[in-house]
Amino acid sequence: MDLRHLRYIVACARNGSFSAAAYELNVRQPIVSRRIREAEDELGVLLFDRSTAGARLTSIGEEFVIGARRIVEDIERLAEHAKASGTGRRGRIVVGFYNSLSNGAFRAALRDFRERYRDVEVVPFEIPFVDLTAGLLSGTIDVAIVLCEASACEVFRTIMLWSEYLVVALPIEHPLADKPVIYWPELKGERFLISHHDPGPDIQNILLRNLAAPSDHPHIATRLLSRESILSEVAAGQGIALQCESATGLSGLGVVFRPVHNGNGATRLGYSACWKPDNSNPVLSQFLDVLKPRF
């Protein structure tokens, strides 16, 4: 006896006749009759009383069909789960990043994905960029969201996502604090506080690209501090700090945020998603599809 026999028995019990069960299962009625007879012969009992009015379960059949129905439903449920896992609608994905989850676009993408795929476990993993790279290569991380251009991760597959404005955090009493927009030349001679933690090194590279002339004299002080601690230092008059736009959501720190512009407009920071080319996690493609409309 196999699963097919159980399906025919359950369908016949549900419909009350072999012909109606055959119609439901889209097979010929003699096939249903033969399969049920095979099961009865193997068990050595009658499961159905046959008559011109149809087929009615015997007392033994009523007891048998309870277990048969449970087996059929369990198998169907397992099959659905397997199909869902294979198409990425169930499973698990590890998402690496090195900047705070307060990043608006990233937070919104995670929320949208979790709402759309409630049977997928999303594991956020916040570590430095070098560890993200190692995690991608080892397979412990499925995808990393990083602040860089797509070409910066040549060994991985990469797509560009959203971008943010670069802002400068200034003490409230700073001479530039009343200006709605700050231009790079106005930052010459300032003391910049840069976090040693990511994305501090990326922001430092942007600073050096825009204030690289000998006459600019950018004074850079690197600190082993979090973003919030860097901003507290800014409020204390220890310097100014370049930050991602998402930092503007922080309040009560005694600083003001102003967008930084060059001759072409606002300076923007681009985020990318990176993953290993041979990553076989079916959830990955679903996650990327949620991210893509945001870039």
Check residue 76 and give its pLDDT: 76
Residue 10 burial (CB count, 10 A) = 20
Q: Whole-angstrom Cα distance, residue 8 to residue 10? A: 6
Nearest to 84 by CA among 111, 112, 118, 58: 118
- Could you tell me the pTM of the whole model? 0.61
Check residue 190 and give its pLDDT: 92
Q: Is the dihedral of CA 76, 78, 83, 87 positive or negative?
A: positive
CB-side exposure of 193: number of CA atoms within 13 Å?
A: 23
Helices (H), 156-199: none
Q: Which domains does the chain have, with CATH numbers?
A: 3-86 (1.10.10.10), 91-161+271-294 (3.40.190.10), 162-269 (3.40.190.10)
Residue 61 · residue 89 · CB < 8 Å: no
Q: Are strands 191-195 and 219-223 parallel, antiparallel or unpaired?
A: parallel
Spell out the per-residue pLDDT of the chain, length 295, in tens. 888 899 899 999 999 999 999 999 999 999 999 999 999 999 999 999 998 888 999 999 999 999 998 988 887 777 666 665 565 567 889 999 876 555 567 888 888 899 988 888 898 888 887 888 888 998 889 999 888 754 556 789 888 888 888 999 999 999 999 999 999 999 998 999 999 887 888 888 889 888 877 677 789 999 999 888 999 999 999 999 999 888 887 777 889 999 999 888 999 888 888 999 999 888 898 899 888 755 4
Check residue 85 and give its pLDDT: 55
Q: Whole-angstrom Cα distance, residue 73 to residue 7? A: 10
Q: Whole-angstrom Cα distance, residue 8 to residue 26? A: 11
Retrieve residue 250's tokens: 């922080």
Check residue 179 and give its pLDDT: 95
CA angle 182, 188, 194 (to 5 degrees): 85
Check residue 295 and give its pLDDT: 43
Check residue 77 and give its pLDDT: 73
